[in-house]
Amino acid sequence: MIKSGFISIIGKPNVGKSTLLNALIGTKVAITSPKSSTTRDRITAILNTQDYQMIFVDTPGMKKSKHLLGKTIDKTAVNAISDVDCLLMVVDRPFHLQDQLIIDRLKNVKTPVILVINKIDMLANASAIDEIIISFIDKYEFSQVVPISAMDQTHLQHLKTAILSHLPQGPRYFPEDYVSDQSNEKLTAEIIREKILYYTEQEVPHSVAVVIEKVEENLEMKTLDVSALIIVERQTQKQILIGKGGSKLKMIGTQARQDINQLLKVKTHLTLWIKVKKDWRNNQGELKRYGYS
């Protein structure tokens, strides 16, 4: 019998939840970027060893939103709090009123919550870590506090040990070679969106959805032909994405194709199209069409 269980990773936007997930699993299963609200979906990833199976659930950052997409994403994050064996609340700075929104949602939860202080590689000294811990310690009864750096993988083993102390004995819920519930098609769309997040600013990154329209094997060219549709809300956003003489879209496509080649282990031919769909983030039908139901 091994130890096995489900662990949700929660926190504000841009505290490094997806970077932490990738570091714990040891491979890229979630996109990352410097922009807030990068993660829009609930992502499940599995860490298998001889002694345990940890099933991590990465969630979008919790925050109050004005548009329907944001409210749908936040509901996804809130739902991930229940029916798990352990919660990781990830923070990267002293307590802020925005953290209270998350703590309020934890008050009816009996699940143990580990406070994870991330990005310690960016803090000046140990006193800065202590300052963060002290600011949170009277806000909630955390089971443990573990300072880490997901980026350079500092103290990840300490975190795994802390998680393991809360997992019950149980079965392997997933096969040993199973890593994530993200399909290749979904990961391909997310990689394209990741590059858009890196290369655009202001409102453009948050107004974008990516849909894979076609994936075909090209036997003659020995490539995989992928056609993707990029959805934006305004014509000006489309022009920004295209760039002067198509330069920005070409750069996004080139960078995405390189990552997709690595992911699929095959040479891909990537075609990107852009379509304007006014106010799609507030349209329930469009949200479902683009996978945000």
The confidence score (pLDDT) of residue 181 equals 81
The set of residues, in sequence order, having a beta carbon less than 8 Å from that of 3 and lying 6+ positions away, is 51, 52, 53, 164, 167, 168, 169, 170
Instruction: Say whether 137 sits in a helix, a strand or coil.
Output: helix
pLDDT above 70 as % of the chain: 89
Average pLDDT in the 18-45 region? 80
- Model confidence over 76-112: pLDDT tens digits? 555 667 789 999 999 999 999 889 988 988 888 889 9
pTM of the model: 0.83
The CA distance from 74 to 52, in Å, is 30
Average pLDDT in the 182-202 region? 89
Retrieve residue 242's tokens.
Answer: 């295209």
pLDDT at 243 over 90: yes
Report which of residues 184 and 115 the model is more confident about.
115
pLDDT at 39 over 90: no
- Residues 75-84: contacts with CB under 8 Å, at least 24 apart: 76/40, 76/41, 76/42, 77/10, 77/42, 78/105, 79/42, 80/8, 80/10, 80/42, 81/8, 81/10, 81/105, 81/106, 81/109, 81/111, 82/109, 83/6, 84/5, 84/6, 84/7, 84/8, 84/57, 84/111
227 φ/ψ angles, rounded to the nearest 5 degrees = -115, 125
Look up residue 54 and give its DSSP letter: E
**What residues pair up with 66 in beta bridges, in sequence order?**
none
Give the amino acid at 138: D
The confidence score (pLDDT) of residue 288 equals 84
For the chain, strand residue ranges (E) read 2-11, 43-48, 52-58, 86-91, 113-117, 144-147, 169-170, 209-218, 223-232, 268-276
pLDDT band at 204 (very low <50, low <70, confident <90, very high): confident
Q: Which fold has domain 184-289?
A: GMP Synthetase; Chain A, domain 3 (3.30.300)
The residues spanned by each domain of the chain are: 2-170, 184-289
The confidence score (pLDDT) of residue 148 equals 98
The set of residues, in sequence order, having a beta carbon less than 8 Å from that of 81 and lying 6+ positions away, is 8, 10, 87, 105, 106, 109, 111
Nearest CA to 272 out of 217, 182, 191, 183 is that of 191
Average pLDDT in the 57-83 region? 62
The confidence score (pLDDT) of residue 249 equals 96
pLDDT at 34 over 80: no
Q: Which fold has domain 2-170?
A: Rossmann fold (3.40.50)
The confidence score (pLDDT) of residue 19 equals 93
The confidence score (pLDDT) of residue 245 equals 94
Describe the chain by its helix, strand, coil percentages, rounded to 5.
Answer: 40, 25, 35
Q: For strands 2-11 and 43-48, give the pairing.
A: unpaired
pLDDT above 90 as % of the chain: 61
- From residue 242, give the alpha-carbon distance in Å to each of 56, 191, 236, 247, 249: 37, 18, 10, 7, 5
- Model confidence over 205-227: pLDDT tens digits? 788 999 999 999 998 888 999 99
The CA distance from 47 to 21, in Å, is 10
- Model confidence over 136-182: pLDDT tens digits? 999 999 999 999 999 999 999 999 999 999 999 999 999 998 898 88
